[in-house]
Structure 1
Amino acid sequence: MHAAVVRSFDAPPRFDTFPTPVATSADQILVDVLAAGLHPRVRSAANGTHYTSDGTLPMVPGIDAVGRTQQGELVYFIADDDDPGTMAEQAVVDRRRAVVLPDGTDAAAVAAAMNPGMSSWVALRRRIDFRPGGSVLVLGATGNAGQLAVRIATHLGAARVVAAGRDPERLSLLPGMGADETITLTDDPKEVADRLTKAAGDVDVVIDYLWGPVTEAAMPAVLTGRTERSKPLAWIQIGSMAGLELTLPSYLLRAANLQIMGSGQGSVTAAGILAELPALAAEITRGTLAVDPVAVPLSQVEQAWNAPTAPGRRIVLTPGE
C-alpha cells in the first residue's frame, strides 16, 4: 500500500510504499482510510520527541482516522501503539478502539476535530469532577486544541471561561467562541501576571497546553488571586508548547490547595477515553465543536507537513484522492 513513511526523525515523512498491515486477532479488521488528521501529537511522534516514542524506524505516522470497513460502516478509530499509523491507504482497527459514525458524516471534519477536542473533553470529563457552573482558565487558548477547549468548557456548563494565549490575532476570535475574558501572554510580564491574578484567581480548573516558563509565571499569579486558598484548584497539564519543564517552588503546594495532574495516554485508561468518543463525535458532527479541515492528498504529505494553516483550520490527509 501507499503511506506516509518516516525513515529519519530529521526529515518529514514521504509518500512511499509500506507493507499492508494484517489483522491478527478477532477484534481487528482492516479498513480503508478516508481521512487522518495532522495533529501536533502526530508531528512529535514522527520526529521522535513524543514521550511514547521508542525510536523504531521506518514508521507510518498518524494516531487516529476515519475509515470505512468492508461492510460499508464509517468508523472513527484510534490506532493501537503496536500497529502502523493511520496516514496510509489502509489501517488495522481494533473494534474496541473505534466508534461507528452516522452515514453522511463529514470524514474530514471528524478527523480534524476529534484529537484536539479529545484533550480537553477527556480532561474535564475523566480527570476531575467538573460540574456546570464551574470556571476554567485555558492556558494556550490560541491553538486548535485550546480554541476547542474554550468551546468545550462552555458546552459542558462552565459559567466563566478565561482564555490566555500567545497569538493576539487568534485570541481576538475567542470571545465569539465562549471566552468571557482574554489575556495576551506576550504582553509585559508584570501586566500579564496582574491580569491573571484578577481574571483567573478564583477559577476551578486550569487546562494547560503550554507548561514551561509560561506556566512557571502563571501559577503563582493565579494562586495569588484566590479568595479562598483552600478551595481546590485542578491544574491539568495537557501540552508543553512553551517548554517541557518548569521550576515549581515548594511553597505553592503549601500556600494553596493546588492539585497538579496530567491528562493523556496513561493517566486515563484507554477504555475511559473510548467511552467519551461517541458523545464528542456527535457534537463534532452537529457542528458544535467543528474545526475547519484542509484536505490534502496523502501523496502531498511531504509538502503539507510543515505548511502553515489559518486559525481554526487543520490539515487532514486523504489517502483516497
Structure 2
Amino acid sequence: MSAPMSAPASAGTTHAAVVRSFDAPPRYEAVPLPEPSAEHEITVDVLAAGLHPRVRSAADGSHYTSEGTLPLVPGIDGVGRAPDGELLYFVLPGTAFGSMAERTVADRRRALVLPAGTDPIAVAAGMNPGMSSWVALRRRAGLRPGQDVLVLGATGGAGRLAVQIARALGAGRVIGAGRDAERLKLLPGLGADETVSLEGADGDVARRLGAAAADVDVVLDYLWGRPAQQAMPALARARADRAEPLAWIQIGAVAGADIALPSALLRAANLRIMGSGQGSVGAAAILAELPELAERISAGDLAVDPLAMPLAEVERAWSAPVEPGRRVVLTP
C-alpha cells in the first residue's frame, strides 16, 4: 500500500488523521484513499475510531510492531458502514492506513456484523481495551469459574474494564490495585471485592498486596515496572500454598518496560509469567472472542465512558486532558 500523501478531496480521496512525524500529533488532511486489493477487502465509511494507547504508541513509533513507516494514518479498529449497509466492527492489521479516516479499507474476515441500533461510539471505545483482559482471561489464563483475579492497574480505562470482565467471566474474588485514590473508590461499584492502593513506600505496598491478594489465581498486569517488581515477591511469599499456580499475564507497561526478576522467585513459587497481546495470541483466536465481547458492550453489561470528538479536531483530541477511565473516540 502506498503511503498517504496530501491531496485535494475528491472521489478517490478521504479526509484522515495523518502522522508525518513521530514527534508531532496527526493533522487532519485530505489523502488518497487506498483501493481494495484482495478478495475480501471492502471500503467502509468509518463512524467511530478509538484513540487507544496502542494507537498512540504506533503514531509515535514506540510500539514494538512499529516499522518506522511515515506518513501513516493511525487507528487499529473502528465501527463503520459497509457498502451493503451492514454495521461492522472491524480490526485492521498492521498497516500504514488505519481507521482514523472518513473512509478506510477493511477485510471482511476481520470484521464483525453488529446488530441494528448498536451505539458505534460505545463499541469503538470499549472493544480494544476490553479485548485486552477478555482475551487474556479466556485464551491465556484459561480462567475457571470461582478463581480469583488481581488487576494491577485497575484505575485506567482498560483496568476498569478488566475488573468488570473478570466478574462477568465468573471470577470468585476480584481485587483492583492502582494509584488513583478517587478511581479506586469507584471499583467496588464495577465488581471489585477489594481495592489496594499502590501509593506509598515499597514495603507498605508489598504488605497491602500480600494481605489482599496472596492466593489469587491470575494477575492481569497493565503496569509492569516497579509495581510488578513489588507485587511478584509479595504475592509469592504470602501464598498459603506456593505450589498452587499463579498465572501472571503481562498486558501493558505503563509503569516501565523492565523489571528486576530474581531467579529464586521462580523456584520458590509456581509463578507462570506470560504475555497477552499482538503476537502471543493469534489473530484467529482474537477474532473468535469478539462477538461475545461486542454483545456485552452493546447490551450495556460493561460500562464504557467514551468522549466523542470530531476527526477534524484530531490535533486537539490528541492532547486533550481526559479523565482516567475515559476513551477518546474520533467521529467523522
Pairwise same-fold verdict (TM > 0.5): yes
| Distance in 1 (alpha carbons) for counterparts of 2:199 and 2:63 | 26
- Under a length normalisation based on structure 1, what TM-score does the superposition of the two structures give? 0.98
3-state secondary structure, aligned to 2:306: strand
Within-5 A mapping of 1:10-89: 10-82=23-95, 84-89=97-102
User: Is contact 2:158-2:325 (8 Å) kept?
Assistant: no
2:149 aligned with 1:136: yes
Runs (4+) of structure 1 moved beyond 3 Å? none
Q: CA offsets per residue over residues 228-272 of structure 1, 9 Å max, x none? A: 101000000000000001111000110011000000001000000
| Distance in 2 (alpha carbons) for counterparts of 1:300 and 1:82 | 23
2:135 aligned with 1:122: yes
- Aligned AA for 2:317? A
Residue in structure 2 matching 1:214, options 227, 238, 259: 227
Within-5 A mapping of 1:1-321: 1-82=14-95, 84-319=97-332
Is the deviation greater in 17-26 or in 46-55? 17-26
| Distance in 2 (alpha carbons) for counterparts of 1:311 and 1:200 | 24
Tell me by how many angstroms 1:81 deviates: 1.1
User: Is contact 1:21-1:90 (8 Å) kept?
Assistant: no
| Distance in 1 (alpha carbons) for counterparts of 2:299 and 2:106 | 25
| Distance in 2 (alpha carbons) for counterparts of 1:297 and 1:255 | 53
| Distance in 1 (alpha carbons) for counterparts of 2:277 and 2:160 | 18
Q: CA offsets per residue over residues 90-118 of structure 1, 9 Å max, x none? A: 11111111100000100000000000000
Tell me by how many angstroms 1:83 deviates: 5.1
3-state secondary structure, aligned to 1:18: strand
Q: Which ranges in structure 1 are unaligned for 5 or more consecutive residues?
A: none
Q: CA offsets per residue over residues 216-236 of structure 1, 9 Å max, x none? A: 111101111111101000000
Name the counterpart of 2:9. Answer: none
Percent identity, please.
67
| Distance in 1 (alpha carbons) for counterparts of 2:297 and 2:217 | 26
| Distance in 2 (alpha carbons) for counterparts of 1:93 and 1:59 | 16
Tell me by how many angstroms 1:310 deviates: 2.3
